[in-house]
Chains A and B, each alone.
Chain A
Amino acid sequence: MPSRSGVASPDPVRPLYSRRATAILLSVAVAVAALAVAGVAAAMGWARSPYSTMQYADVRQPVPFSHQIHVTGLQVDCRYCHSTVDREFTAGIPPTRTCVGCHNDAYLQSALFEPVRRSLETGAPIQWRRVNNLPDFVFFNHASHVTRGVQCATCHGDVGQMAQLYQARPLTMKWCLDCHRDPSPYLRPGEGAMPRSDSGRPWPVRAGTPDSIAGAVARLTACSTCHR
């Protein structure tokens, strides 16, 4: 205010700012900027971390089904349970009947099989918890991947060693694109590289030529390949 301008004038002896003012200001500014950057970096880092992607998360199932026992121990073909994995979009979650094909009455008496018994009695499905969960705006086709020679383990990890199934890969869009941009290292043409198939049903893997794979990259990275 004009009338108080004289009062507000600075002391001619003491400087308005201390000698360290600039240094303090700068360090505060740097700290704020660093915090902001660190905050963003932390958020982005968190989003990519297993905490956010649920990679390795402990997902307890109603029945403690062990892929280790079935795949490594009993050498069951993946497609005995996931029967449409080489033909359709979905791999297929086995109906309760598939379990009791092998697990006869003796097995079923066990307490662990209580949900299976209940499902058979009531006709209500077993409520498995989803482990590998893609967002609803992602349309993933199992058959297209399997028939091109993408191994089950490439995305699901070595389920044969998992006593309790967990999400082995981050399943982030970057992770998908790493392969879609350069699929060659992940394609193992020939049936031999696929999981064992004692069922007498060969894996319908068709090898692409290096040229056809290179030509496919533009298509593979188009948004509508996965998002519709």
Chain B
Amino acid sequence: MSGTDGVRASAGGGADGRWAAALARRGGTDFWRGLDELLDTPEFRARLADEFPDQATIPAEAWSRRSFLKLLGASVALAGVGACINVPDERLLPYVDQPPEATPGVARYYATSMTVGGLATGLLAESHVGRPTKLEGNPLHPASLGAAGVYEQASLLQLYDPDRLRGLRRGGRRATWEQFATDFIAPAARRTDGGAGLALVLGPTSSPLEIALLARLRDRFPGMHVHFHDPLVPAGALEGGRRAFGVPLLPRYDLREADVLVLLESDLLGSAPFHLRHARHAAGRRRMLEPTDTMSRIHAAESAPSVTGTLADERLRTRAGGVPRLLAALLAEVAGTSGGNPGALVDAREREWIAAAARDLRAARGRGLVAVGERQPWHAHVLVHAINARLGNVGRTVAYAPSVIEEAGERSHDPAALAELLRDGGVDTLLVMGVNPAYSAPGELELGRLIGAIPNTAHMGMYADETARACGWALPEAHYLEGWGDARAYDGTVSLIQPLIRPLWEGRTVAQLLTMLLGADPDGRGLVREHWRTAGLADESAWERAVQRGVVDSTGMSVSVPALAGDAEGAAVAAALDASRPAVGMEIVFRPDASVRCGEFSNNAWLQELPDPLTKLTWGNAAQVSPATAARLGVEAGDMLRLSYAGREVTMPAIVLPGHADESVSVHLGYGRQGGERVARGVGVDVYDLWPADTPHSGDGLSVEHVAGERVHLAVTQDHWSMEKRPAALGATLAEYRANPDFARPQRGRQLSLYEPYAYDQGDQWAMVVDLSTCIGCSACVVACQAENNVPVVGADQVRMSREMHWLRVDRYFGGDVEDPTVAVQPMLCQHCENAPCEYVCPVNATVHSPDGLNEMIYNRCVGTRFCSNNCPYKVRRFNWFDYNAELGETERLAKNPDVTVRERGVMEKCTFCVQRIRRAQQAAQVEGRKLAPGEVVTACQQSCPTQAITFGSLTNPTDDLLQRMAARRRYAALHELGTRPRVNYLARISNPAPDVTGASGTADAAAVAGMDEASDASARPGERPSGEGEPA
């Protein structure tokens, strides 16, 4: 948007002017982490100077100095007594009957699946004698391919959540399932009205079992109402499919051969269905091990930077409402027509982006792909289908298939229809299962009030949430690790949900509850088994195989490549142009949150503390605005804004996000919870209140007002652990890389050192290479690390004091223009330096080096001087300020990995390269009398990475992948000039921006677009040792 000048004039002080000046002082390729760092304000410098800010400050609720001294005497006396009890009297509790598969101390892995929005992702659950401790992706599952997203991995914590509903409640008093069966189910089942007054509300489902049970229930109660509650219903995509093809088909993308991706308001790699698979395949086109390799090009147009947008080579900031208009213009450009003259509706910057995208798409016919966000209006989807069809992409990178969600696209998915049903449907008995409509629906529908007005209501859920409070009965729902089930992946592949543990709190599954309504026996496993006995797994061995693998083979839905309905394109163009009135006022965009989605994960402390990929905000949400808009409003991050939209208003803090569209505000769902969940309660602001039922994604007419005098201190981690402007993340464009393939060379190789070199020549030598070209900053690795290594959660106040404990953080750097920056992300973890600065300064030898190149942290030696962290240039060491683990509830302790020490207060900790996995694998190999195979040790972060950006292994026994990456010319060591010789190396980020549009060469340009013909396999050089230096830099 071109508002900058006007903004500067109006911005009393002109913050953006300051940014521009600050930028001018810096080199063009510099990255900066936050606006404060760019401005380099004295406050920012002061905050940085203190690595452990506020260290004298203790939380307000903690002890005062006085009470501390009072208790000191008592502690000393008690310590004397305590010292006498030397060895705790521990008990050994063997099994009575040991199941053959359970060996104490040995982890077993079971295939299961988790659904998000009704769609399954296959998982492998690690179990220690019946106790699930970690979730990883199932390599056999099409939606996972071995990776797992943040929701899937963090869902483990919810199994053990102490806030879960423990047993049934009837009007707040304890009850039993038997009472529920007699007092609620039986009267409902005896109905004679054909079910006309009976309504079921459940989440969107793809489960063949649940769908079959619903069909049986409908036979029994023909008048019964069934509603599927989903705040993120992809109505636009389904309607677009219906208008384009006559049936509501959804696109199915294949990114393996896609050289050009044009994505509009679409987080295809971050949150869209199948995002793990898409991320894997998109990254496969961007590995760039050799300068001669080819690379895809990603064009993105979005209102707020997304995970996908960070990877984009050509990114256009645009208001979300402008997407159909851009698509109409893109269609015209691709088709070479000017029907309706959409070109007139785009400004110069947009025209430039469209021209570049269209040129690439035309050059890569059949190898390009256009996609648009699922909740965009129908005409946007029809336009995308039309563009893909014209470019010959259909049948190659995109095909179509029906949604696997039951009744997708019908009115039974519309929250407004639910409100209508509850108000006027004559419903007297309501059963809500697994969803929380009283919270997660547009506020104006007032579903909570409507539910409360119905005489007989029951809610089944994991928590005593808002809906449970409005209902007469609160029933505990089984976590998916507690109950049998099935579901389909986005492509239709049937995924079995296998429990690993008996329900902790009497929970039942949706299928069990539906069976109760049918008057049948709600035996969880029996239900699934019986259904599949008639549905293709009659044979016991086929069933066993399916349970073991987690997927039922060849159940994916076949795709089709239908032709567009004749009039669809014209209607869509007309609708898009019709909707493209000049924008009125500001725009508001409603988005699911990267951490808590729509509220399903609000009570998950791992996710609450997981920094947002872009803003790095933890514990809450904030209204995202661009720097120019913030300057116009005169606000900074943390200032309160009053957002008024469609007659409702909400006050929430602002956060300034470079790369956001101007005059547009993004707000995130899932916060401001008022249910019984203690972690979620009161965190952030509920923007459902503001969300009108007729605004699926974004709308114009928002008015924003700065509430002067109020400020909140947002728990943002972006400036913590700063690299002080040292070049940690390197990057280049493809053209620069080809011109100078060794641009990263000065950042690797031997450095002079005063210390005697240690010969790392005995046995395995562990090392990691992280490819910044394919890292999308999704933070799956952060959660994986947290789960694997028992990393504690510290809470919002401690995060504000820079005390978050993540061993692995994902640094987000901005580069270039403040308003329209490029983004680079860099996972930063202990670099396992061969000359580790931390080791020299530890007075008690608590951090030392192992002969296989690990920087070891010995917790039981550490006395907490924190010298090591002070001396660490990468700022990857974390200190336990409090005994975070001591406060855990009885069940939460069960989530801990028994292979890793749980650290206590006063101890430093940091990434160990998952040493427990290394030692376990080594010892297993030794016991079996064999050599450790290359690739046998996989770190938690590496395992979870959807794009396989992280490679780990032994330099003396490497995998081909590690070997190739060690030999890559863009490999470098972060802060190489310090001579620390880190064992973690990075591959500099390569982006592939379109050549300057003014350049004449349309055809030469085509060659620069990725993968034009040969993908060079020549880059694989098996058997060769890592380049000249022989050792990591």
Give A contacts to B, CB under 8 Å. Answer: 51-54, 84, 86-90, 92-97, 119-120, 123-130, 133, 135-137, 139, 141, 143-144, 147-148, 204, 206, 215, 218-219, 222-225, 227-228
A204 B89 Cβ-Cβ under 8 A = no
Q: How far is the CB of A225 from chain B (nearest CB, A)?
A: 7
Which residues of the other chain, B, contact A120 by a CB distance below 8 angstroms? 96
Give the chain A neighbours of B106 by CB distance below 8 A: 84, 88-89
Q: Is A222 in contact with B850, judged by CB distance below 8 angstroms?
A: yes
Q: Which residues of B contact A204 (CB under 8 A)?
A: 927, 929
Q: Is the CB of B929 within 8 A of A90?
A: no
Partner of B91 from A94, A128, A219 at Cβ < 8 Å:
A128
Contact yes or no, A95 B94, CB < 8 A? yes
- Cβ contacts A to B, 25 pairs, < 8 Å: A84-B106, A86-B927, A87-B927, A88-B103, A90-B104, A95-B97, A96-B94, A119-B96, A120-B96, A124-B96, A125-B93, A126-B93, A126-B94, A128-B94, A129-B90, A133-B90, A136-B901, A137-B901, A215-B763, A219-B852, A224-B856, A224-B915, A227-B858, A228-B900, A228-B919
A-contact 0/1 string along B632-673, CB 8 Å cutoff:
000000000000000000000000000000000000000000
Do B919 and A95 touch across chains, with their CB atoms under 8 A apart? no
Q: How far is the CA of A162 from the CA of B899 in the complex (A)?
A: 32
Query: Are A206 and B103 CB-contacts (below 8 A) given A97-B96, A228-B901?
Result: no
Q: Which residues of A contact B97 (CB under 8 A)?
A: 95-97
Asked if A219 meets B854 with Cβ closer than 8 Å, knowing A130-B91, A141-B923, A147-B927, the reply is no
Q: Name B748-807 residues within 8 Å CB distance of A.
A: 762-763
Give chain B residues whose Cβ lies under 8 Å from the Cβ of A53. Answer: 86
A129-B927 contact given A95-B96, A222-B851, A227-B858, CB 8 Å threshold = no
Q: Find the B residue at minimum CB distance from A81.
A: B94
CA distance A144 to B921 in the complex (A): 11
Chain B residues contacting A125 (CB-CB under 8 Å) are 93-96
Residues of A within 8 A of B858 (CB): 223, 227
Residues on A with beta carbons closer than 8 Å to the beta carbon of B852: 219, 222
* B96:A123 contact, CB within 8 angstroms: yes
A224 touching B850 in the complex, CB below 8 Å, given contacts A124-B96, A133-B87, A219-B763 = yes
Using a CB-CB cutoff of 8 Å, which residues 74-90 of chain B contact chain A?
A: 86-90
Closest to A127 in B: B91
Chain A residues in 8 Å Cβ range of B1004 = none
A contact residues around B92 at 8 Å (CB): 93, 127-130
Contact partners of A84 in chain B: CB under 8 A = 103, 105-106
Interchain CB contact under 8 A, B915 and A228: yes
Bound complex: CA of A102 vs CA of B94, how far in Å? 18
Cα distance, A218 to B765, chains bound together (Å): 13
Q: Nearest-CB distance from A81 to chain B (Å)?
A: 10
Instruction: Give min CB distance, A178 to chain B, whole Å.
Output: 19
Asked whether A90 and B94 contact (CB < 8 A) given A147-B927, A215-B762, A222-B852, the answer is no
Q: Which residues of A contact B91 (CB under 8 A)?
A: 127-130
B882 close to A (CB within 8 Å): no
Of A129, A139, A215, A225, the contact of B899 (CB 8 Å cutoff): A139
**Cα–Cα, bound, A90→B1033 (Å):** 40
CA distance in complex: A215, B97 (Å): 43
Q: B380 → chain A, closest Cβ, in Å?
A: 52
- Interface contact B900-A54, CB-CB below 8 Å: no
Quick check: B919 and A52 within 8 Å, CB to CB?
no
B182 at the interface (CB under 8 A from A): no
Query: Does more than half of chain B's interface fall in helix, strand or loop, or is it mixed?
Result: loop
With A90-B104, A92-B103, A228-B900 known to touch, is A137 a contact of B762 (CB < 8 Å)?
Answer: no
CA A90 – CA B107 in complex, angstroms?
12
Which of B87, B104, B902 contacts A92, CB < 8 Å?
A: B104
Measured between alpha carbons, how far is A51 from B87 in the docked complex, in Å?
Answer: 10
Smallest Cβ-Cβ distance to B97: which chain A residue: A97
Bound CA span A26–B840, Å: 40
A137 contact set on B, CB distance < 8 A? 859-860, 901
A125 to B912, CA, bound (A): 36
Taken together as a complex, chains A and B put the C-alpha atoms of A215 and B761 apart, in Å, by 11
- Residues on B with C-beta less than 8 A from A139 are 899, 916, 919
For residue B926, which residues in chain A have a CB less than 8 angstroms away from its CB?
144, 147-148
Q: 1/0 contact trace for B822-857 toward A, CB 8 Å?
A: 000000000000000000000000001011101010
Q: Which residues of B721-746 have CB atoms within 8 Å of chain A's CB atoms?
A: none
Q: How many Å from the CB of A47 to the closest CB on chain B?
A: 8
C-alpha spacing A225/B87, complex, angstroms: 23
Interface residues of B in 880-926 (CB under 8 A from A): 899-902, 912, 915-916, 919, 923, 926
Instruction: Tell me if B57 counts as interface (CB < 8 A to partner A).
Output: no
State the CA gap A126–B96 with chains docked (Å).
Answer: 8
Cβ distance B864 to chain A, nearest Cβ, rounded Å: 16
What B residues does A87 contact at CB under 8 A? Answer: 927
Closest to B902 in A: A136
Q: Report chain A residues within 8 Å CB of B96.
A: 95-97, 119-120, 123-125
C-alpha spacing A31/B748, complex, angstroms: 60
Residues of A within 8 A of B915 (CB): 224, 228
Across the interface, A227 reaches (CB within 8 A) one of B94, B851, B901, namely B901
Nearest Cβ on chain B to A180's Cβ, whole angstroms = 13
Nearest chain B CB to A9 CB, angstrom units: 43
Q: Does B98 contact A (CB under 8 A)?
A: yes
Excluding A54-B86, A96-B96, A139-B916, 6 further A-B contacts by CB distance (< 8 Å) are A96-B95, A120-B96, A133-B87, A135-B860, A147-B926, A224-B915
A97 with B98: CB separation less than 8 A? yes
> Which residue of the partner chain, among B93, B105, B851, B927, contacts A218 with CB atoms under 8 Å?
B851
Chain B residue at smallest Cβ distance from A93: B94
B906 CB to closest chain A CB, in angstroms? 14
Contacts of B927 in A (CB 8 A): 86-87, 143-144, 147, 204
- Chain A residues contacting B899 (CB-CB under 8 Å) are 139, 228
Closest beta carbon of chain A to B192's beta carbon, Å: 46
Which of the listed residues A126, A143, A223, A227 has the most CB atoms from chain B within 10 Å of its own CB?
A223
Cα-based distance from A136 to B106 in the complex (angstroms): 16
Taking CB atoms, residues of chain B closer than 8 Å to A222 are 850-852, 854, 856
- With both chains docked as a complex, state the minimum distance between the C-beta of B757 and any C-beta of chain A, in angstroms: 16
Whole-angstrom distance from the CB of B276 to the nearest CB of chain A?
Answer: 29
Contacts of B900 in A (CB 8 A): 228
- Chain B residue numbers with a CB within 8 Å of A90 are 103-105
Q: How far, in whole Å, are A54 and B96 apart by their CA atoms in the complex? A: 28
> Which residue from chain A places its CB closest to the CB of B94 in the assembled complex?
A93
A223 to B860, CA, bound (A): 11
| Distance in Å: Cβ of A158 to nearest Cβ of chain B | 21
| A136: min CB distance to chain B, Å | 7
In contact, B912 and A218 (Cβ under 8 angstroms): no
Q: How far is the CA of A218 from the CA of B759 in the complex (A)?
A: 12
**B923 adjacent to A223 (CB under 8 Å):** no
Q: Kindly state the separation between the CA atoms of A97 and B98 in the bound complex, as whole angstroms.
A: 8
Q: How far does the Cβ of B999 sit from chain A's closest Cβ, in whole Å?
A: 55
Chain A residue at minimum C-beta to C-beta distance from B89: A129
Complex Cα–Cα for A55 and B704 (A): 73
Closest 8 CB pairs of A and B: A222-B850, A89-B105, A95-B95, A90-B105, A95-B98, A93-B94, A130-B90, A125-B93
Residues of A within 8 A of B98 (CB): 95, 97
Count chain B CB atoms within 10 A of each CB in A93, A222, A224, A227 and give the residue with the most: A224
A125–B763 Cα distance when bound, in Å, is: 43
Nearest-neighbor residue (CB-CB) of A59 within chain B: B89
**B908 CB to nearest chain A CB (Å):** 14
Q: Which residues of B contact A227 (CB under 8 A)?
A: 856, 858-860, 901
A120–B94 alpha-carbon span in the complex (Å): 12
B99 to chain A, nearest CB (A): 9
Is B93 touching A127 in the complex (CB atoms < 8 A)? yes
**Chain B residue nearest to A146 in the complex (CB):** B927
**Docked pose: A159 CA to B917 CA in angstroms:** 33
Known A94-B94, A97-B98, A120-B96; contact A228-B912, beta-carbon cutoff 8 A: yes
A1→B220 CA distance, assembly (Å): 106
**Residues from chain A with Cβ under 8 Å of B919 in the complex:** 139, 224-225, 228
Q: Which residues of A contact B902 (CB under 8 A)?
A: 136
